Every structure is written in C-alpha cells, then in structure tokens.
Amino acid sequence: MSYFAQALINGVALGGMYTILVLGFSVIWGVMGVINLAHGEFVMVGAYLAWMASDFWDVDPFVSAPVVFCVMVLFGYLVQRLLVNRIINRSSLVSLLVMFGVSIILQSVMKVSFSADFRLANTDLDGAWRLADRLTIPVTRFWVLVVAVGVTVALSLFLGRSRLGKSIRAAAQNREAARIVGVDIDKVYAVTFALCIGLTGVAGALISPLLAVQPFQGPPLTLKAFAITAMAGLGSVRGALGGAMVLGLVEAMLALYVDRIGTNLAVVASFVLLVAALVLRPQGIFKGLRHVDATST
C-alpha cells in the first residue's frame, strides 16, 4: 500500500514537472500552429543557464529562474524574428524541418561549448520529507510542482483575462478575423513565442537539479511535450496540466509494477499512450485553442 501511495506521490510530482515542461510547447502550437521541434533544446538551454548560475556563482536554480526567464524571452524573440516569422502559415512540414534544424544547431552549440558531460545544478530545496515509513515527498519536485501550478494558473488568467491574452486567443481561433478587428498579429506571435520560450527556459532551470543537463537531453522532452499536447488539446493550459498528470502517473505506476523499467522505457510508455490517444480520439481530450483532427479519413 505504501508503495502505491509513494508511486502516487511520485506520479503527481512528475506530472508537475511535465506540466511546466509542456506549457510553452502547447501554447506555441495552439496559437501559432508551429510545432516547435526544438522545444527540448530550449529546455536544455534554460537548464544550462541555471546550471551555470549554480556552478559559477552558486545561485540556486529557483532563484535564478526569473533571470533565466528574461534571458530566454530575449532569445525567443530573436529566434522568432529571425526564423519563426518565416515559417508561420507554411506547411507543417516546413516548420517541422526548420525547427528541427534549430534543434540540431542548439545541440551542436551546447556540445561545443560545454562538452557532452552530464551536469546537475545544486539546489538548497533538496532531500525528502518523511510522511511515514517508506513514504516520502521529494522536496525539489514538490517545489517544482508548486511553481508549475502557479505558472499554470497565472498563464490561464493571462490568456483568459488580460487584453493581450485575449488577442492571443483570438489569433489562435481565427487569424484573419482577429486581424480585421485590429489585433496586431505579428506582435501577438512575437510576444507569444518569446513568452513561451521564456517559460520553457524556466522549465529547464527548474529541472536542472533533477535531470542530467547535457546537449542531447532535448528530443525525449520534445516527444513528451508533443504527446501531452496532442492528448490534451493544443494550447489548452488546463489540458496541459491534466495530460501531464496522466503521463506522470502512468510512468510512476509503470515504474512500480513493471520490473526493470527505467526512465528510458517511460518514453515507450508515453509514445504508446500518444498513438493510442491520437488514433482513438483524434481531436484531443480537452478542448484546445485550435481544432484538430489527427487521422486521415
């Protein structure tokens, strides 16, 4: 029983991590229709920034996260101006390939700069709280979960209440109509992308004490972000939280009941979940910002 309870805790904690990992990806896809195949690499860059702060100046990732956010917003803005602008409204193949190009460029730059060694940032919020015999809460993950829920609520409020947020949603629903009623689409896209990359960088910073920071950590993260988003509905903030929790719990339960399963096989699990979800329910489970239909006939 306590094993099960522990798996439950682990699953929710993992879900928190996935939530913050997926939000940026989901909103970019939902609003701009661009599948950011370099998502995992933006996470990786954020993680490297936090690791540098931790390693060089001994700054806790939870403290450096806002700075990472600002840096990544700038970076995101640059990438948007330089590249993403050119691929919006092009076929999804074009945007997939261009973003894939970005992903291998970032991998390469990071490998050249920092080598392929595995790094971990240090945080003071570590260790575990003991609830009972063999039942603990991992502290770092707990705080990641807290931040994730906070960010989800904030993003939800921002999209739902603020003027800019409403423009973003309008642009996602119907670009032309939004343009006609005076929404500056280019600005909306630039802001959305920059903001989402900022968020993605924060996700990287927060997981830098948990997941080995290395140049090639990105692709599995992108894959999971894709799986969760496709299941949860594009650009749906609440859906992202729900989908991330489902994936986290599935992985934690698998780790509990299946022998010898590592985090690697969790990729298999999320993939099977993804294909099953898409084939069975092509329009997603939650209502997203953008209508989708993943099957061909």
Partner 1 sequence: MRREAAGDPGSRERAAGRTVGATALAALVVLVVLPLLPGTSNATLLTLTLMLTSIGVAINWNLTGGFTGYVDFGHAVWFGIGAYAAAILISLQSNGPQVGWHPVPAIVVGALVAGVLAAAIGRVTMRLKGPYFSIAMLGTFVAVREIVRVWSPLTGGGVGLTLPPYLNRELFYYLELALVVVLAAFTWWLRHTRFGAALVAIREDEVGAETRGIDTTRFKTAVFSFAGLSTGLFGALWAYQNTFVDPDIAFVEVRTIDAVMGTMLGGLGTVAGPILGATVLYWLRELLWANLLDYHLLTQGVLLIVIVLFVPRGLVGLFDRRGASLLELWGWKGRSRGLRQSSAAGGEVEAAS
Partner 2 sequence: MTALLEARGVVKRFGGLTAVGGVDISVAAGEMVGLVGPNGSGKTTLFDCLSRVQPVDAGLIRFGGVDITGLRAHDVARLGMSRTFQIIRVYRDLSVAENMHLSIQWGALGVPELFARTDAATRCRADELLDLLLLGRLRHERAGNLSGGQRRLLEIGMSLMSEPRLVLLDEATSGVNPTLVADIADRIRAVNSEQQVAFLLVEHNVQFVADLCERVVVLDQGAVLAEGTPGEIMRDPSVIEAYFGDPGEGARDQNRVPSDPGAPDERVGEGSLHRSLAGSGDAADPDAGREEPVS
CB of 29 vs partner 2, minimal distance in Å:
13
Run of H or E including 128: strand 128-132
Q: Does 291 participate in binding partner 2 (rule CB under 8 A)?
A: yes
Q: Distance between CA atoms of 34 and 276, rounded to whole angstroms? A: 23
Q: Which listed option, partner 1, partner 2, none, makes contact with residue 141 (CB within 5 to 8 Å by class)?
A: none
Looking at the Cβ atoms of 143 and 271, the one nearer to partner 1 is 271
Q: Does 285 participate in binding partner 1 (rule CB under 8 A)?
A: no
Q: Does 98 participate in binding partner 1 (rule CB under 8 A)?
A: yes
Scan for tokens 């063999």, then name that residue: 134
Q: Distance between CA atoms of 50 and 67, rounded to whole angstroms? A: 9
Looking at the Cβ atoms of 50 and 98, the one nearer to partner 1 is 98
Nearest to 29 by CA among 231, 267, 276, 207: 231
Contact string 177-216 vs partner 2 (x = CB under 8 A): x---------------------------------------
Question: Is residue 234 within 8 Å of 286, Cβ to Cβ?
Answer: no
Q: Does 141 participate in binding partner 1 (rule CB under 8 A)?
A: no
- How far is CA 98 from its chain centroid? 19
Q: Does 272 participate in binding partner 1 (rule CB under 8 A)?
A: yes
291: Cβ–Cβ under 8 A, 6 or more apart, which residues? 283
Q: Does 94 participate in binding partner 2 (rule CB under 8 A)?
A: no
DSSP single-letter state for residue 34: -
Q: Does 297 participate in binding partner 2 (rule CB under 8 A)?
A: yes
Q: Does 2 participate in binding partner 1 (rule CB under 8 A)?
A: no
Q: Does 212 participate in binding partner 1 (rule CB under 8 A)?
A: no
CA torsion 157-69-115-263 (nearest 10°) is -20
Looking at the Cβ atoms of 1 and 280, the one nearer to partner 2 is 280
Pick the piece of the chain touching partner 1 (CB under 8 A) from 55-63, 101-109, 183-191, 197-205.
Answer: 101-109
Say whether 163 sits in a helix, a strand or coil: helix
Scan for tokens 């599995």, then name that residue: 220
Instruction: Work out which of 115, 162, 174, 295 binds partner 2, going by CB under 8 A.
Output: 174
Cβ neighbour number for residue 161 with a 10 Å cutoff = 9
Question: Is residue 7 within 8 Å of 138, Cβ to Cβ?
Answer: no
Pick the piece of the chain touching partner 2 (CB under 8 A) from 48-56, 65-73, 205-213, 288-296.
Answer: 288-296
Instruction: Work out which of 66, 78, 86, 157 binds partner 1, going by CB under 8 A.
Output: 86
Nearest to 165 by CA among 30, 18, 17: 30
Q: Distance between CA atoms of 215 and 51, rounded to whole angstroms? A: 13
Q: Which listed option, partner 2, partner 1, none, makes contact with residue 164 (CB within 5 to 8 Å by class)?
A: none
Binding interface with partner 2 (CB under 8 A): 174, 177, 291-293, 297
Binding interface with partner 1 (CB under 8 A): 33, 35, 83, 86-87, 89-94, 96-98, 100-105, 107-109, 111-112, 174-176, 219-220, 223, 226-227, 230, 260, 262, 264-265, 267-268, 270-272, 274-275, 278-279, 282, 294-297
